[in-house]
């Protein structure tokens, strides 16, 4: 009905051309930050002036996994955790395509954790946008590998006892060439970061900290999405080039954001092609 009305009155949002309007309104809860990440990504695609026929977007399972269904470019919704594996296949099959993996922390870092570190090790040429909401939201608020110590979840009724992963640190130590972290509040900086990462050759990781109004903040009594955004406003600290070891996120502690790593390494296809031509020259 919403869509019908919008069509009838011929009112069009500037981003409507990048979205599958027959699927909007999306399923994300009021106060969720994933829609903001999608806006920033759409704005970044526009700003980077990339041909939309040369972009493919892959996502896994979960709340953020729905992104592939809402963005009007070539997209694929893969099985749980296998988004990076599928994206590797696309890149090797057609190296001209810019592959973007858009998925959540539970999908990329826990179930797909192995694919994540190995794609970073090989330096596969792709952009990974990891929306981190600290919890498995779609399945009912279970503990994720990014849930901070002492935070409550439906499967940790006395507080989480497992130390969480530090996503920029894993990405950096496994060999990613571009690592940044922003919150859903830093939309402009996030957009600029995504433009930079889209133009980068190699494995780029952008972590987006997003409020989860229905699970993480409800179980932990942190208010709604707006309260989480106000918390980011007061507690996010921008430190470009910070050592990724210092980027742990505790329960309601300061969040350090910024661009941490920007370096050059030969991507997988470049090193593979060089190796092939050396083999052809007959120098074993």
Rule CB under 8 A: which residues touch another protein? 1-2, 5-6, 10-19, 24-26, 28-36, 38-40, 42-43, 45-46, 51-53, 72-73, 185, 187-188, 191, 213, 224-226, 229-230, 233
| Minimum gap (Å) between residue 31 Cβ and another protein | 5
| Minimum gap (Å) between residue 14 Cβ and another protein | 4
Q: How far apart are CA 39 and CA 283, in angstroms?
A: 50
Return the number of the residue (83 or 229) whose C-beta is nearest another protein.
Answer: 229
Return the number of the residue (54 or 263) whose C-beta is nearest another protein.
Answer: 54
Q: How far apart are CA 30 and CA 229, in angstroms?
A: 13
What would the two tokens of residue 107 be? 């999908």
Q: How far apart are CA 30 and CA 161, in angstroms?
A: 29
The answer to whether residues 137 and 212 touch, using CB atoms and an 8 Å cutoff, is yes
Q: How far apart are CA 49 and CA 194, in angstroms?
A: 12
Return the number of the residue (28 or 165) whose C-beta is nearest another protein.
Answer: 28
Task: Name the one residue in this structure whose structure tokens are 């935070």.
Answer: 151
DSSP H helices in 99-181: 105, 113-122, 167-174
The answer to whether residues 104 and 74 touch, using CB atoms and an 8 Å cutoff, is no
The answer to whether residues 62 and 79 touch, using CB atoms and an 8 Å cutoff, is no
Q: How far apart are CA 13 and CA 29, in angstroms?
A: 20
Closest C-alpha to 38, from 208, 202, 273: 208
Return the number of the residue (45 or 124) whose C-beta is nearest another protein.
Answer: 45
Q: How far apart are CA 247 and CA 69, in angstroms?
A: 32
Instruction: Kindly state the greatest CA–CA separation across the chain.
Output: 68
Q: In which element (H, E) is residue 38 found?
A: helix 34-47
Return the number of the residue (73 or 92) whose C-beta is nearest another protein.
Answer: 73
Return the number of the residue (45 or 109) whose C-beta is nearest another protein.
Answer: 45
| Minimum gap (Å) between residue 274 Cβ and another protein | 34
Return the number of the residue (73 or 269) whose C-beta is nearest another protein.
Answer: 73
| Minimum gap (Å) between residue 23 Cβ and another protein | 12
Phi-psi region of 29 (alpha: psi -120 to 50; beta: other; left: phi over 0): beta
What would the two tokens of residue 103 be? 């998925």
């Amino acid at each position: 009905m919403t869509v019908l009305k919008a069509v009838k009155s011929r009112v069009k949002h500037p981003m409507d051309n990048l979205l599958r309007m027959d699927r909007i309104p999306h399923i994300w809860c009021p106060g969720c930050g994933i829609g903001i990440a999608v806006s920033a990504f759409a704005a970044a695609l526009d700003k980077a002036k990339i041909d939309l026929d040369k972009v493919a977007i892959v996502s896994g399972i979960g709340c953020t996994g729905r992104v592939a269904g809402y963005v009007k470019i070539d997209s694929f919704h893969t099985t749980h955790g296998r988004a990076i594996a599928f994206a590797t296949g696309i890149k090797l099959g057609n190296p001209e395509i810019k592959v973007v993996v858009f998925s959540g922390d539970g999908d990329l870092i826990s179930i797909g954790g192995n694919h994540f570190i190995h794609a970073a090790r090989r330096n596969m040429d792709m952009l990974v946008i990891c929306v981190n909401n600290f919890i498995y939201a779609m399945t009912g608020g279970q503990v994720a590998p990014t849930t901070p110590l002492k935070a409550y979840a439906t499967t940790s009724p006395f507080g989480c006892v497992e130390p969480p992963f530090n996503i920029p640190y894993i990405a950096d130590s496994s060999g990613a060439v571009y690592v940044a972290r922003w919150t859903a509040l830093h939309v402009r900086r996030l957009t600029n970061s995504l433009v930079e990462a889209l133009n980068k050759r190699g494995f780029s990781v952008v972590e987006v900290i997003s409020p989860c109004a229905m699970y993480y903040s409800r179980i932990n009594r942190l208010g709604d999405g707006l309260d989480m955004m106000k918390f980011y406003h007061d507690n996010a600290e921008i430190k470009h080039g910070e050592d990724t070891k210092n980027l742990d996120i505790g329960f309601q502690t300061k969040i350090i954001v910024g661009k941490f790593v920007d370096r050059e390494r030969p991507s997988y296809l470049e090193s593979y092609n060089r190796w092939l031509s050396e083999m052809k020259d007959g120098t074993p």
